[in-house]
């Protein structure tokens, strides 16, 4: 897997993703956010190859869009993280979030935040080293940040917010599996 920074927000990078395989695909053609991707190595299993292959369109496995906080120049936000449907659950999104966060920290941001709307994303970002802040957005998303507090209590507090919502059977089962656990150990950034 290759992880790459496509550009910073002021450079106006865009990325075409297949809307049938990626959630939020339309958000990545916008040029007002920075972009990073995880993509198949050339000639790898997911590379369709051939002279007609569109490398930008065919090789991405995951993508993240990010920008600076509008009110705090020391904070950046990961705005969208998406993983190709056939690769979800492999840790690619968490590794990409960690990769993008390290690039943002290298660029001088003190902290990186993200708002998530489901327990699977909450867990994945916990694997990327983020901790729950105890805050929610106005649209019922939980705010996580890195660096952040990563204790059993803060992890469970975030999961408890989801437990109080109308959930799918899959989400309920996932939350039951995580009851009482500590946050997952952060994955190493690629």
Which DSSP string corresponds to 57-81?
Answer: HHSEEEEEEEEE-SS-TTEEEEEEE
Residue with structure tokens 């998303």? Answer: 141
For 41-61, b/e burial (b = at least 16 CB within 10 A) is eeeeeeeeeeeeeeeeebbbb
What confidence category does residue 190 fall into, taking pLDDT thresholds of 50, 70 and 90?
confident
Residue with structure tokens 């990327």? Answer: 128
pTM: 0.89
Q: What per-residue confidence (pLDDT) applies to 99?
A: 97
Q: What per-residue confidence (pLDDT) applies to 127?
A: 95
Rounded-to-10 torsion of CA 129, 74, 80, 118: 50
Q: What per-residue confidence (pLDDT) applies to 25?
A: 94
Quick: pLDDT tens for 63-114. 999 999 999 999 999 999 999 999 999 999 999 999 999 999 999 999 999 9
Q: What per-residue confidence (pLDDT) applies to 56?
A: 53
Q: What per-residue confidence (pLDDT) applies to 58?
A: 59
Question: CB neighbours (10 Å) of residue 81?
Answer: 25
Quick: pLDDT tens for 5-64. 999 999 999 999 999 999 999 999 999 999 999 998 876 554 444 433 445 555 899 999
Take residue 79 and report the two structure tokens written for it: 């705005």
How far is residue 167's CA from residue 159's CA, in Å, rounded to a whole number?
Answer: 12
């Amino acid at each position: 897997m290759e992880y790459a920074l496509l550009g910073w927000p002021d450079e106006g990078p865009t990325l075409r993703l297949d809307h049938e395989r990626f959630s939020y695909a339309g958000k990545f053609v916008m040029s007002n956010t920075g972009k990073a991707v995880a993509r198949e190595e050339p000639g790898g299993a997911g590379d369709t190859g051939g002279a007609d292959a569109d490398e930008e369109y065919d090789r991405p496995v995951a993508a993240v869009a990010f920008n600076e906080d509008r009110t705090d120049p020391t904070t950046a936000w990961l705005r969208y993280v998406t993983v190709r449907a056939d690769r979800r659950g492999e840790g690619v999104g968490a590794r990409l979030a960690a990769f993008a966060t390290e690039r943002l920290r290298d660029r001088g941001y003190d902290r990186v935040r993200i708002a998530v709307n489901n327990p699977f994303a909450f867990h994945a970002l916990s694997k990327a080293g983020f901790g729950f802040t105890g805050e929610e957005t106005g649209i019922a998303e939980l705010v996580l940040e890195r660096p952040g507090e990563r204790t059993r209590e803060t992890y469970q507090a975030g999961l408890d917010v989801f437990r109080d919502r109308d959930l799918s059977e899959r989400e309920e089962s996932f939350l039951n599996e995580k009851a009482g656990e500590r946050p997952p150990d952060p994955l190493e950034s690629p």
